[in-house]
Amino acid sequence: MKTVFHALAALIVAGLLATVGLALAAPAQASETVPAAQCPMPKDFYGNPDEQGNLPTPLYVGLFFEGKDLIHHATAPIDLADMDHVGVGFTSPDNPDKVLFKVETSAPYSTIITNPDGKLWSTAMSYDQEGGQGHPVAKYSDLVGKDTKPGKAKFSADSKVVTFGVGYAVEDGTAIVSSISFHGKDYDLTCKPPVSHTSAPAATPSSSTPKPHAPTSHVAGAGTGVQGGSGSTGALAITGLNVWAVTGVGVGIVAVGGALLAALTARRRITFKA
Number of other residues whose CB lies within 10 A of the CB of residue 258: 15
Taking the C-alpha atoms of residue 106 and residue 131, their distance in angstroms, rounded to an integer, is 16
CB 193 within 8 A of CB 60: yes
Mean pLDDT for the chain overall: 73
pLDDT in tens, 213-261: 444 333 323 332 323 333 333 333 334 445 444 445 454 554 555 554 4
Taking the C-alpha atoms of residue 226 and residue 176, their distance in angstroms, rounded to an integer, is 12
Taking the C-alpha atoms of residue 105 and residue 65, their distance in angstroms, rounded to an integer, is 23
What count of Cα atoms within 13 Å lies in the side-chain half-sphere of residue 170?
Answer: 9
pLDDT in tens, 44-56: 999 999 999 999 9
CB 55 within 8 A of CB 167: no
Number of other residues whose CB lies within 10 A of the CB of residue 135: 15
Estimate to the nearest angstrom the gap between the alpha carbon of 41 and the chain centroid: 10
pLDDT in tens, 105-139: 999 999 999 999 999 999 999 999 999 999 999 99
Q: Is pLDDT above 80 for 87?
A: yes
This prediction has a pTM of: 0.60
